[in-house]
Structure 1
Amino acid sequence: MKNPLPPLNAVRAFAVAARHQSFSLAAEELHVSHSAVSRHVKLLEEHLGVLLFERRVRQSLLTPAGQRFYQQVSAGLGQIADAAAELRQQAARPTIKINVRPSFALLWLTPRLADFAAQHPHIDAQVVTQTQSPDPAREDFDIVIRRGRDDWAPALEAHALFEDELVLVAAPGLIERLPLANLAGLSAHTLLTVRARREDWHHWAMHFEQSQSTTQVIRQFDYMHRVLEAAVAGEGLALCPTTLLGTHLSSGRLICPLPDLRMPLPRYYYGVAPQASAYSNVFIEWLHKQRP
C-alpha cells in the first residue's frame, strides 16, 4: 500500500519555494543547491501525480493545484511549528527572580544558591539586586526579601523570615595592636560603616548607654561587603548584621571582640509578587530551611 504521506523533506522544500516563487531563493534559505530543491519538488509532484509549479526562466509560478496545496501545507507546517514551540517552552527551565539588596545578594543569598540548584536543578533561580524596595506594578520579579517592612509596595504581603542582630567585628591583628575590652575603647579606633547606615554607630552607642565621641573617625562605604573587606584588612572596626557575616567568623578572618554586645535589628521579611511563578513556593520552602 502506498504511503499516503508525501516525503516530508520534499514538502518543506516545496513550501519554501512556493513562498519565494523561486527555487534559487528557496535553496539559499534551506542551505542546499538549486538542483536539490528542484529534485524535491519533482519527487513531490510524482508522488501527488500533479504539476505544482510552472517552470519559467527566472521564476517558478504555482499552478492552481500548487496554490491549493501550498495553502494547506503552509497551515499544517505552521501548526507543527507552534506545537514544537509550545513543547520547547514547557521543557525549558522555569525561572524564579528574587529581588534583594546588593549586599544581601553577595553575602547571604548567592553563597546558598548552589544548595538550591542541587536540590532543584530544573528551576533557574535568578538574583536581581536593587537598593530600593521594588513594586510589582513596575518591576519584574517573583520574590522580594528585605529587612523590615516600612516601605513595601501595597500589593506585597510581608511574611516574617528570620531575625538579625548587629555585632561588632574586627580583624584579629587589629585587636592585637589595639586591644578592645569595652565600649570605652572605641575612641582609639577608626569606625567603618555603610553610607546608608551611617547612624548605626550612634544607635549602637545609645543602645548600650555609651556616649560617642564627636571627633570619632568614621569611614563610609557604599556597600556592606566593602565594609567587611576594609575590616578584614585591619582598617577599623565594623558593625555588621550577623546574617551578612557569612564565613568571616568561622574562617577567623574576623572576630567579635565584644561578643556579648548584640543589638537587635528589624527582622527580614519576604513577599511574593501577585504575578509570581508557580515555582515560587518551591523557593520559599527552601528559604525557610535556611534560617539561622
Structure 2
Amino acid sequence: MLLKRRYLPSLGSFATFEVAAKHLSFTLAENELNVTQAAISQQIRGLEKSLGVTLFIRKHNSLELTLDGQRLLTAVSGGLDIICDAINDINAPSDPPLITCSGTNAAIACWLKPLVDRFRSERPDVRFVLLASDEDDTLRNFDEVDLSVICGNERCEVGESLYYLFSEIVQPVCSRDYLNQHGPFPDAQSLVQADLLDLHRKHWTADAIGWHPITWDDWFRASGLDLPHLSPSMISNNYPLLVNAAVRGEGIVLGWHHLVRSLMDDGALCALFDAPLHVDRGYYMKVNQASLDKPHVQEFKDFVLTGLAASEQERKPHGAATGDGP
C-alpha cells in the first residue's frame, strides 16, 4: 500500500510567517525580508487558507498570534533551525583527522612525540592531542582517547585491542661531553663517584605508575654491586627533566631504551658500556573500541608497529662508548 505524500505549503511561506510572527508586524517583516507588505499579507493569507486555520488576530495597529499560530511558530522555528544547521554542516569543510593519545609524561614526551613528528612529516593533515600524566590513570578510559601507551598490563576490555610494543631495558647513558670530561667509565664500579641522575620515589608512587620501580640501586645490584649509601647528584620525579639534564652534560641517567633511543641515534646520548638490565615486563599500545574503525588511527598504529619491527631488524646493540669517540 503506497503512502500518500503529505501536503505542505511552500517553505517560503513558512519563512515569511516566522519573521512576521517574530515581529508581530507586517511592516517590520517587510523591512527584514525586503519585500512589499502586500506580498507578505498575501503569503500569510495563502498559508492560512492552506492550513485551514487563522494564524494572526489582526488588530488596528498590531498583530497577535492565535493558539494555532503559536504552535506553528514553535514548529517552524525549530524546523528552520534544523535545516540551517544541516546546510552549514554540508557546506562546512570537513575537520582534519584527529588522533588523541595518552600515556605517562615520559612515554608521551620521550617515546611517542618523536614518532608523531615522523608520522606528521608524511601526513601533515593529521592532528594530534597528546595527554600526558603520571597522576591520572583514567586518561586511557576517556571517550576521546584513541590510543594509550601502557606498561606491564595485558588486561583489555571487550572490544579493545592490545598490541605488544617492546620489553623494558634499562642502561646508563650520558652525553659525549660528560663522558669526555669525566670518563672513562669502563664498568659499574667506575660510576660510584659519577654524577648520577635518579628518579624520586614520588614518581614511582604516582597514580598512573602502577609498576615496580627500577632505581640505580637495582641496576648496581644487577651488576653485582651493593651500594646502600648511594647519593645521586640530582633527583626528580620528572623523567624528561632528568633526560634533558643528561643531554646537557650534567650527569648519567638510567636510560630506558624506548625513551632514550632516539637521542642515542642522534648522538645526544651514548651508552657507557654494554650492561643493560632487562626487566620482566613489557609495554603495549591499547586501541580503544570506538577508534577501531577510524582509518587514520589504524594508519598511525600500523606506522608505529611497522617502524618498531624494522628498527629491531636493523638496529645493532649499542656497544661501550669511550671518551675518545666522535
**TM-score, with structure 1 as normaliser:** 0.74
Structure 2 residue aligned with 1:172 = 176
Q: 2:138 aligns with which of 134, 137, 142?
A: 134
Structure 2 residue aligned with 1:39 = 35
Give SS of 1:105's match.
helix
Q: Is this contact kept in 2: 1:169–1:240, CA < 8 A?
A: yes
Relative to structure 1, the CA distance from residue 42 to residue 94 in structure 2 (aligned partners, 3 Å threshold; closer, same or farther) is farther
Q: Is this contact kept in 2: 1:23–1:37, CA < 8 A?
A: no
Structure 1 residue aligned with 2:112 = 109
Structure 2 residue aligned with 1:30 = none
Relative to structure 1, the CA distance from residue 121 to residue 41 in structure 2 (aligned partners, 3 Å threshold; closer, same or farther) is farther
Which structure 1 segments of 5+ residues have no match? 28-33
Deviations 1:162-195 (A, max 9, x none): 2342121112222222211221111111210222
Query: Where does 1:78-97 land on structure 2 (aligned, <5 Å)?
Result: 78-81=81-84, 83-84=86-87, 87=90, 91-93=94-96, 95-97=98-100
Deviations 1:32-71 (A, max 9, x none): xx82347376544445664876666885434799668756
Query: Where does 1:47-86 land on structure 2 (aligned, <5 Å)?
Result: 50=46, 59-62=62-65, 70=73, 73-74=76-77, 76-81=79-84, 83-84=86-87
Say what the alpha-carbon RMSD is for the aligned residues: 4.0
Q: Is this contact kept in 1: 2:105–2:240, CA < 8 A?
A: no
Give SS of 1:261's match.
coil
* AA aligned opposite 2:244: E
Query: Where does 1:247-258 land on structure 2 (aligned, <5 Å)?
Result: 247-258=262-273
2:311 equivalent to 1:264: no
Relative to structure 1, the CA distance from residue 42 to residue 160 in structure 2 (aligned partners, 3 Å threshold; closer, same or farther) is farther
Q: Is this contact kept in 2: 1:6–1:47, CA < 8 A?
A: no
Structure 2 residue aligned with 1:211 = 226
Which structure 2 segments of 5+ residues have no match? 1-7, 49-54, 205-212, 312-326
Relative to structure 1, the CA distance from residue 82 to residue 114 in structure 2 (aligned partners, 3 Å threshold; closer, same or farther) is same
> Sequence identity, in percent?
20
* AA aligned opposite 2:196: L
Q: 1:174, 1:271 → 2: CA distance?
A: 38
Per the TM alignment, residue 247 of structure 1 is displaced from its structure 2 partner at its CA by 4.0
Q: 1:161, 1:90 → 2: CA distance?
A: 36
Q: Is this contact kept in 1: 2:140–2:147, CA < 8 A?
A: no
Count of aligned pairs between the two proteins:
279
Give SS of 2:270's match.
coil
